[in-house]
Amino acid sequence: MKGALKPAAAAEMIPEGASLMIGGFMAVGSPERMIDAIVARGVGGLTIIANDTAMPGKGIGKLVSAGLVRHIIASHIGLNPETQAKMISGEITCELVPQGTLIERIRAGGMGLGGVLTPTGLGTEVEDGKQVVTVEGKRFLVETPLKADFALIGAWQADYVGNLSYMLTAHNFNPIIALAGRTVIAEADSIVPVGVIPPDAVKTPGVLVDHLLIRAS
């Protein structure tokens, strides 16, 4: 862990056209201060890899509203009418992926695997253009791994070496994307001394985290 940055300084690291994995499920567990800083910077052409695009005014929805998103890889966009409208108009392209497949593709990317074999999507539109293999008599779709330039994490507690813990349903994609971003930036509700998060409660080891955002003012 390289230290704590102001949100604006963290947003400065993100170039035009970058790919971002962002934690959160309907914005629960999303790094809101980091997202606000990206909106303030106005860097566009982004590819977003996340479960969903929340709703206008919340989480990833703020990036969509600001017109900064070019491509989305997500499992569900139905609760954000702006994402739907921009997809229909062609401003945003969208790859829809079954939720369990999406998280495993990210996990594969982060854990050095060449992909995932899953039965989910067989016989549906999801199968189109993909390889199908048979293992021990069962058919599986071959799904490719996903990585991103940045993983933006929303955590509950961070300590001074970047160890992270999460609260309740705010885990979701966060612990998995921490492995799949080339640069990992974490925002926590609070930053606590080393030892306050017991080793057994650490869900993301600090060695994966490049930068923390400074505490909220």
- Please give the residue ranges that form the binding site for another protein (CB under 8 A): 25-29, 51-52, 55, 74-79, 84, 87, 96, 98-101, 103-104, 107, 118-126, 156, 166-176, 203
The closest alpha carbon to 110, from 216, 204, 213, belongs to 204
Pairing of strands 211-213, 4-5: parallel
Nearest approach, Cβ of 69 to another protein (angstroms)? 15
Nearest approach, Cβ of 156 to another protein (angstroms)? 7
What's the CA gap between 175 and 73, in Å, rounded?
Answer: 18
Token pair listed for 200: 């057994």
Closest to another protein by CB, 168 or 199: 168
What's the CA gap between 99 and 102, in Å, rounded?
Answer: 5
Nearest approach, Cβ of 133 to another protein (angstroms)? 16
Determine contact, residues 74/50, Cβ cutoff 8 Å. Answer: yes
Determine contact, residues 174/23, Cβ cutoff 8 Å. Answer: yes
Closest to another protein by CB, 101 or 183: 101
Q: State which H helix or E strand residue 89 sits in.
A: helix 81-89
Closest to another protein by CB, 88 or 194: 88
Closest to another protein by CB, 11 or 170: 170
Nearest approach, Cβ of 195 to another protein (angstroms)? 23
Nearest approach, Cβ of 151 to another protein (angstroms)? 14
Q: State which H helix or E strand residue 41 sits in.
A: helix 32-41
Closest to another protein by CB, 30 or 65: 30
